[in-house]
Amino acid sequence: MMFWYGAHWAFWQAGLMWGGMIVFWGLLIWAIYALVTTTRKPPRDDNDGGEARRILDQRLASGEIDEAEYQRLRELLNNCDRHDSAGTASR
């Protein structure tokens, strides 16, 4: 009958059980929260002309082009953006 001697759990065994259970439920709740609150960002459209406009602004600021050339190129960029938007909207 020595096998049944000390049938109660030791304090550290109960502590490990409680700690493990708290960690398990905490991870489970965190995983569900992370899945629910994840927002998917729409893919970035690289054809928006933002980079081209920035370069154009820098060229004007550094004096590489004059204001008339700047206006002409800016209008050209705006027309290209309108054509790209119209082409993707009809698809």
Q: What is the Cα 37 distance to its own chain's centre?
A: 12
- pLDDT, one tens digit per residue, over 26-82 is 999 999 999 888 876 665 555 556 788 899 999 999 999 999 999 999 998 888 777
Among all chains, which residue has been given the structure tokens 């002309």?
49
> 23: number of CA atoms within 13 Å, CB side?
6
pLDDT at 3: 53
- Interhelix angle 67-89/50-62, nearest 10 degrees: 180
